[in-house]
Every structure is written in structure tokens, then in C-alpha cells.
Amino acid sequence: MDVLSDALAAMRTGQTRSARTDVRAPWGLRFPAVTGTTFHVVMQGTCWLLSDGAATPLALGPGDVVFLRNGSAHALADDPATAQVEFVPERADPSSTIGQVRIDGSGAHSVLLCGAYELDRTRSHPLMNELPDLVHLPARSAKHSELRHLIDLLATELEGRRPGGDGIVPALIDAMLLYILRAWIDDRSVTETGDPASSGWALALTDPAIGRALQGIHAQPAHPWTVHELAARSGLSRSVFAQRFTTLVGEPPLTYLSWWRMTTAGRLLRESDAPLSAVARRVGYTSEFAFAKAFKREYGTPPGRYRRPVARVQQV
């Protein structure tokens, strides 16, 4: 079980939206706050990111990637002083997830990929909570070669418009979220002095012992895990495992297990019409009543009522 992919899948609530943004100076685009997360990739040229929470604008160059964890309001412009207009992509096909934005000017040319990932931030995975509000992955650092290759491939597909592009481009953009998080994990696993990090999810995912325990929890949330069994799976004594897990993950093993079970239950209720008894069994409850009680304690609403608003939205 890939814990990172599983955690993200549990948070996904809709399709990724993006737009190829082809602009010539002078230009400025204003992006409103969204419920998910936003990203920008500079395919060609340069620009400035003006974020509500940042004191100074951030210069971006070719190949740079920025990821705004909270989807906060921000702007992009050829120059911080340039007037801004709302970012409103045009879509030749209303069902397409890829839009177009074009601003014609007489100045420098830039091409960007701008978009948003639909993630449920009301139940964000602890890994996401550790990310800074703004993740900047500059191309000039010459790190994260896999992400760079993906960006090059994206640029080729966006420019070439070859057969199959409508299927390839959205898949690459979805994969980019995992590459962005993987790049952040790689950077976070070591301190600024080059020493290994001592705590945090970035280290938990790469720690062989704790990683095995997390894989077990994610692969079999219904299993009646005990700290002793998880420790044995990790190859550590019970006390050493419990302390190390809590240090890295931020909470004790069984607390995280309970949280993940309820997160999985919420996902099953959103994405399937399985009976409540089946959902309960999938997350380790033999009693539907006990599951409903635990779910209401966690979400503040009974599981049946939690599911109904989602079903109405899908019928519209």
C-alpha cells in the first residue's frame, strides 16, 4: 500500500481544473481563493507571484513550480505594479478540464499552466497540514529530476496537441501533485544543515520501520491492530515503536488508526452506495450502531445524513 497515494485519494473530491495561460506583457491575473489547493508551472518566460500572505513578491522563472496549500487568493503578473484582471479560463468544450487564457500585449512572452486540485481541507491528512502555505520548487536548483521530466512532457503535450492529448494531459497534471509532494518530502527529510530531520511526516514515510506500520494500517484499516502487532511488523519493541511512531506521525499509533478508519469511512460514503453495515465492516466495526456512534463523534453528523447531501449534489 502506497500511503502517500492513499492519503491523497481520500482527500480528492472532484476533477482537477487547469488552464494553459499564454500571455504577453503587460499582464496581471488575479486568482480568488478556492476550497482546494492551487498550483502554477512556468513553462516559458518569467513572472511574479503576489500572495496575500507574503510581504514581498516572488520571482518565478522557467520550470518553476509553486503550490499553494490553502488555495488562498493571489495574483500573477509580468511586473508587481501591473494592473490585474480576474483569471477566467475559456473552454471550447464545457466538459474539458483544460481551459485557455490568453492576453495579447507587445512585451515579453510567458506560458504557464495554472490550476487547482479539488481536495477536502475539512479533513486534511496530517501530511498536508505540515506543508507550508506556499511550496516553491525552483527549476534552477537542479533537484527533483522526475518532476522536471514531467513538466517537460507536459509542455510538449500542451504545445503539440497530438492525438490522445485530452487523456494524457489531465493524467500528467494529476500525477504532478504526487511529484510536488514527493519533492517536498525529499527536501523536508533533511535540515538546512544537511542533517537528517528528527520528526515529521516526511520522515515517517521514508522511515523503514514506521513506514511498514503505516502501510499495514492503510492496507487493512479493518484489521484489529494492536500496538504490539504493529511494533512486531516494524521490527521494533513495543515501547520503542510507540515512541518513534508518535514522534514522527504526531500522534500515537491507535489514535492515527482510528482517524484513518473514519477518514476511509467518509470516503466510502461519498463515493459508493454501500450499506452502512458494509462500510462499518470495511473500517473495522462489527456493529453498525457502534460505527454510527463513532462516526457522529468524529464528523458531528450521522453517517446516513453525511451521505445524503453528497448524493443530492451528484444528481444535479
pLDDT in tens, 198-224: 678 888 998 999 999 999 999 999 999
pLDDT in tens, 87-120: 999 976 766 668 999 999 999 999 999 999 998 8
Listed by start position, the domains of the chain span 3-188, 207-316
SS3 state of residue 185: helix
Q: With beta carbons less than 8 A apart as the criterion, state whether 263 and 295 touch.
A: no
Grid coordinates of 266:
467518509
Dihedral in degrees, nearest 10, Cα atoms 32, 33, 39, 43: 10
pLDDT of residue 95: 67
Q: What are the beta bridge partners of residue 100?
A: 20, 90
d(CA 128, CA 47): 27
Grid coordinates of 29:
491575473
d(CA 120, CA 11): 5
Pairing of strands 37-44, 65-68: antiparallel
Q: With beta carbons less than 8 A apart as the criterion, state whether 100 and 91 touch.
A: yes
In angstroms, the Cα distances linking 282 to 105, 216, 276 are 57, 14, 10
Mean per-residue pLDDT, 182-187: 88
pLDDT at 313 over 50: no
Q: With beta carbons less than 8 A apart as the criterion, state whether 176 and 150 touch.
A: yes
d(CA 61, CA 77): 12
How would residue 136 be classed by pLDDT, with cut points 50, 70 and 90? very high
Closest CA to 38 of 5, 70, 9: 70
φ, ψ dihedrals at 21, nearest 5°: -110, 110
pLDDT in tens, 220-238: 999 999 999 999 999 999 9
Fold of 207-316: Arc Repressor Mutant, subunit A (1.10.10)
Position with higher pLDDT, 155 vs 310:
155
d(CA 269, CA 282): 11
pLDDT in tens, 10-52: 888 788 889 999 999 999 999 999 988 999 999 999 999 998 7
d(CA 137, CA 116): 17
In angstroms, the Cα distances linking 177 to 4, 49, 210, 227 are 11, 19, 23, 32
d(CA 9, CA 267): 9
d(CA 267, CA 290): 18
Question: For all residues of the chain together, what is the average pLDDT?
Answer: 89
Dihedral in degrees, nearest 10, Cα atoms 134, 140, 145, 148: 70
CATH number of 3-188: 2.60.120.280
pLDDT of residue 247: 93
Alpha helices in the chain (DSSP H): 3-11, 126-130, 145-160, 165-188, 201-206, 208-219, 227-234, 238-249, 253-271, 276-282, 288-299, 303-315
Closest CA to 128 of 53, 193, 205, 65: 205
Q: With beta carbons less than 8 A apart as the criterion, state whether 201 and 249 touch.
A: yes
d(CA 177, CA 205): 17
